[in-house]
């Protein structure tokens, strides 16, 4: 099993091909938005670093605040979350990209794993077609499997980040032997196969109907693709494998044996996911139109699809390097942290990254306020207001280096939420 740390990759795409005909034209407004977001992200990261230095000193008096174990980890050195002005940093939900390769080393499966928090059980599993396209800066539109073929796992992770609009913490590669070894801890997998799958000689390798796959058979079944068959058919069969595997792991998550470090990679994610409620689905995608029918099929996920799917798998996603998600602060304006968890969920579903939650300067806000300070974030602030169903969107002059958008929950929204 190969992890990102096992490879020394000097650049994300050292051998990626030029794609001048497919490269998107970026407006100056978008570039400015990215620079603004990077400044805000730098301030956010600096705050995390300072917080990390403070925790060993203040830990004995309890600086850790967990708002909800299913919605991410929240940490801040302030001691009283009931006071106006209290704010807490939100650590992004942990993520792992699993790349399945076949005997020839080609990428045949791409799976995103997400955890709700550092301490919660359960999690999300999102199967992504390896031919899903990411719009990569200075490269253009590139499928994940092509990025892997050109430059390896680091490039595949970067392309997946652009395709999904999030940052991904880590990546592992599983070859057939490694995957078989891991599955052997849970034993054979039972599933209903929808298709007759034949080998290269035309013989039936896997009949349709009820199947019991031995661990050694699972990689070949998950990689099988018939001549002329859509890759989405294979994705569906891979979803069957993952469901059967997680069901088998759920019987005793601690019995599964993983090679390598136990604090990262599959050893960290899978037992936790299998121990609780699992959200598993295949990413809904659309084929990219092509003029030449012989061109290999590629796919793209619509923004509205990602807005729905990503929060189910990654409750608190971090933005990718391009600042695809505006940084958002969510503040309770009617009482200590009232409504912040539900509003944070809605902000994420609207495409935002929640970086801070807490209390406003006072608790008598009648109307919900959504403010932004950079004109490039106006449309995104309006989208947040639409997702909440309440709120006046206002541009402010004061620059906020910690967030692009600030939501102050008023009595109108708090009442609708029942808080």
User: Residue 160's CB: how many other CB atoms inside 10 A?
Assistant: 25
For 113-181, give the secondary structure using H, E and C. Answer: EECCCCCCCCEEEEEECCCEEEEECCCEEEEHHHHHHHHCHHHHHHHHHHHHCCCCCEEEEECHHHHHH
From 209, 249, 228, select the one nearest 293 (Cα to Cα): 228
Is there a contact between 415 and 340 (Cβ–Cβ < 8 Å)? Answer: no
pLDDT over threshold 50, residue 66: no
Domains and CATH numbers, the chain: 28-93+325-417 (3.30.70.2390), 95-313 (3.40.630.190)
User: What's residue 324's pLDDT?
Assistant: 80
Range in 65-74, 330-339, 345-354 the model is least confident about: 65-74
Residues 238 and 218: their CA atoms lie apart, in Å, by 9
Q: What whole-number percentage of the chain has pLDDT above 90?
A: 69
pLDDT over threshold 70, residue 55: no
User: What's residue 101's pLDDT?
Assistant: 98
Residue 194: partners with Cβ closer than 8 Å, 6 or more residues away: 208, 236, 237
Q: Is 399 helix (H, G, I), strand (E, B) or coil?
A: coil
| Residue, of 9 and 103, whose pLDDT is higher | 103
Output the average pLDDT for the chain. Answer: 84
User: What's residue 311's pLDDT?
Assistant: 94
CA angle 168, 400, 379 (to 5 degrees): 70
User: What's residue 253's pLDDT?
Assistant: 83
Q: What are the C-alpha distances in Å from 68 to residues 71, 118, 247, 316, 418?
A: 5, 11, 25, 12, 17
User: What's residue 79's pLDDT?
Assistant: 53
Q: Band of the pLDDT at 8, cuts 50, 70, 90?
A: very low
Q: Band of the pLDDT at 295, cuts 50, 70, 90?
A: confident
User: What's residue 62's pLDDT?
Assistant: 23
User: What's residue 355's pLDDT?
Assistant: 94
Residue range 310-320: mean pLDDT, rounded: 94
pLDDT over threshold 50, residue 139: yes
pLDDT over threshold 90, residue 157: yes
Q: What whole-number percentage of the chain has pLDDT above 70?
A: 79
| Residue, of 57 and 222, whose pLDDT is higher | 222
Q: Report the run of H or E that residue 100 belongs to, with start and end.
A: strand 95-101
pLDDT over threshold 80, residue 4: no
User: What's residue 323's pLDDT?
Assistant: 79
Residue range 74-103: mean pLDDT, rounded: 85
pLDDT over threshold 50, residue 182: yes
Residue range 373-397: mean pLDDT, rounded: 97
Residue range 70-81: mean pLDDT, rounded: 56
User: What's residue 73's pLDDT?
Assistant: 54
| Residue, of 23 and 79, whose pLDDT is higher | 79
Residue range 274-302: mean pLDDT, rounded: 93
């Amino acid at each position: 099993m190969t992890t990102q740390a096992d490879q020394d990759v000097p650049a994300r795409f050292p051998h990626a091909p030029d794609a001048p005909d497919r490269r998107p034209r970026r407006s100056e407004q978008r570039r400015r938005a990215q620079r603004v977001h990077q400044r805000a992200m730098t301030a956010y990261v600096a705050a995390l670093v300072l917080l990390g230095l403070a925790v060993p000193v203040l830990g004995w008096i309890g600086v850790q605040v967990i708002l909800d174990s299913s919605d991410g980890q929240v940490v801040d050195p302030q001691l009283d979350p009931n006071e106006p002005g209290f704010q807490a940093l939100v650590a992004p939900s942990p993520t792992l990209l699993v790349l399945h390769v076949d005997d020839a080393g080609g990428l045949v499966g791409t799976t995103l794993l997400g955890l709700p928090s550092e301490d919660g059980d359960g999690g999300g599993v999102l199967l992504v077609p390896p031919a899903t396209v990411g719009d990569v800066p200075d490269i253009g539109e590139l499928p994940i499997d092509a990025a892997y073929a050109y430059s390896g796992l680091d490039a595949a992770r970067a392309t997946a980040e652009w395709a999904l609009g999030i940052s991904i913490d880590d990546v592992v590669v599983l070859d057939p032997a490694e995957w078989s070894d891991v599955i052997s801890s849970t034993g054979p997998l039972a599933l209903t196969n929808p298709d007759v799958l034949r080998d290269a000689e035309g013989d039936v390798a896997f009949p349709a109907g009820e199947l019991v796959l031995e661990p050694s058979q699972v990689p070949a079944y998950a990689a099988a693709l018939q001549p002329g068959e859509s890759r989405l058919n294979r994705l569906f069969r891979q979803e069957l494998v993952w469901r059967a595997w997680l069901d088998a792991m759920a019987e005793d998550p601690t019995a599964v044996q993983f090679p390598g470090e136990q604090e990262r990679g599959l050893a960290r994610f899978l037992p936790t996911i299998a121990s609780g409620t699992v959200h598993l689905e295949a990413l809904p995608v659309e084929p990219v139109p092509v003029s030449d029918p012989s061109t290999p099929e590629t796919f793209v996920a619509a923004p509205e699809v990602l807005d729905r799917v990503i929060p189910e798998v990654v409750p608190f996603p971090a933005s990718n390097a391009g600042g695809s998600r505006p940084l958002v602060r969510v503040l309770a304006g009617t009482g200590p942290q009232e409504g912040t968890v539900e509003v944070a969920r809605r902000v994420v579903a609207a495409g935002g990254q929640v970086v801070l939650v807490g209390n406003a300067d006072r608790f008598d806000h009648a109307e919900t306020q959504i403010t932004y300070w950079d004109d490039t974030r106006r449309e995104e602030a309006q989208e947040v207001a639409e997702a909440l169903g309440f709120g006046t969107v206002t541009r402010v002059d004061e620059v906020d280096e910690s967030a692009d958008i600030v939501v102050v929950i008023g009595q109108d929204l708090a009442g609708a939420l029942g808080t």
